[in-house]
Structure 1
Amino acid sequence: MQNWSIKDEIRDYWSLRAETYDSSAGHGIAKHAEIDAWGRLIRRHLGDGEGRKALDLACGTGVMTMLMHGLGFKVTGLDFTEPMMARARRKSDEANAAIRFLTRDAEETMEPDNTYDVIIARHLVWTLTNPDKAFSDWLRILKPGGRLLIIDGDFVRQHWLERLLPLLDRVFGKQQDGHSLLTPEQWAHHERIVGRVHFKDGIRADDTLRLFKSAGFGEMKIETDLADIRRSRGIKLLSRKGLASTLQHRFAISGRKPL
């Protein structure tokens, strides 16, 4: 373990999470209404697909990759966790979708300069080890005038009520989501990672906005209330998932590469 880098820790953890990732609250997208809501958010920030080249950073099981494909983008999915990528490729094959997949580190894409019209990253930035370097790389591979969309949240600083939810699931015998099904060993693995990433105390919208501006992005669009997404899932405020979604600080921010 001592010889493992933080990247090894992250890759190993998400490899273990691949099987349950899509069932975790806030990760999988199952309902048509939720697909539509995500589509509205993406179009507000990135516009229509129209065959433009899109990169889905840390694409995982391909949830957003498939959604972007459905919106008409020519999509590349990039991730360094092979079990996650295997599920993404399976979804693409089943849909007969022409999606390109790359097994690479999202912080250092190794893609050519000025390649993509848009880049999207969901639930990635809070895990970065060198966010300034990553944002500079993403600016580099965007075409002039291209946009980067970050969808993320503070998954570290939990409200005390949120910490009780997995326990309540077990006590009352309710169906558990992917997070509730984590073993004690997996939770310990998660905590080790959180203690070593850049945003070990959690990330907020203001933190992300500073990264955009420091890298050289402009024409920012900011959403700090993703209630439309929550409503699309049919989540009621007083339900288990409704409470979890309401207590978490989630946001969407996009910026434009100068011409």
Structure 2
Amino acid sequence: MGCGTGSLAVLLAEAGYEVSGVDLSRRMLELAEAKAAAKEVHVEFRHGDAADPPCVAGAYDVVLVRHVLWAMPDPAAAVARWTGLLRPSGRLVLIEGRWSTGAGLTAAQCRALVLAHWREAHVKKLDDPALWGAEIDDDRYVVISRA
């Protein structure tokens, strides 16, 4: 079981995973529910704050968050909450970036936030144009960690 959000939750459900999706916007939840229905997959969508999702502590194999951490008022608190949602063998997956506009987190900043709670955090650059539909000049990456 994983805790994620939106279109990504639908993609994971299509791949056969049991998924919970969280969003603060009721409209975004309605759109995500419509996408899940159109794909004929089940996702348990919940209304709540991504920084403190309404999910059971210690119940998830994966917490996957995409392009959200950088915009949170307290990224460190969010990472602490997310790591607490995971089972002992769980994985935290953060897809983030430092955009050409200057917004976002560097890979080193994101990794440091995770290492404050867990002993490992691996960074992989996501710079393949096939991932984005074009060449990019941002710093896009994934941080994968486990307890």
The equivalent of 1:74 in structure 2 is: 18
Higher helix share: 1
Q: Write the distance in 2 (CA, Å) between the matches of 1:99 and 1:92.
A: 7
Q: Secondary structure at the match of 1:206?
A: helix
Q: Write the distance in 1 (CA, Å) between the matches of 2:122 and 2:50.
A: 22
The equivalent of 1:250 in structure 2 is: 140
Q: RMSD across aligned C-alpha pairs, in angstroms?
A: 1.7
Amino acid at match of 2:2: A
1:66 deviation in Å?
Answer: 1.3
The equivalent of 1:217 in structure 2 is: 118
Question: What is the TM-score normalised by the length of structure 2?
Answer: 0.91
Larger radius of gyration: 1
**How do 1:49-68 residues align onto structure 2 when only pairs under 5 Å count?**
53-56=1-4, 59=5, 62-68=6-12
Question: What is the TM-score normalised by the length of structure 1?
Answer: 0.53
Q: Which runs of 5+ in 2 are unaligned?
A: none
Cα 1:104–1:232 shift into 2, 3 Å: closer
The equivalent of 1:36 in structure 2 is: none
Higher strand share: 2
Q: How many residue pairs were aligned?
A: 147
| RCO higher in structure (CA 8 A, sep ≥6) | 1
Q: Write the distance in 1 (CA, Å) between the matches of 2:13 and 2:25.
A: 21
**Do structure 1's residue 202 and structure 2's residue 117 form an aligned pair?**
no
**Do structure 1's residue 150 and structure 2's residue 51 form an aligned pair?**
no
**How do 1:1-259 residues align onto structure 2 when only pairs under 5 Å count?**
53-56=1-4, 59=5, 62-155=6-99, 157-158=100-101, 202-214=104-116, 216-227=117-128, 230-231=129-130, 235=133, 242-243=134-135, 246-257=136-147
The equivalent of 1:184 in structure 2 is: none
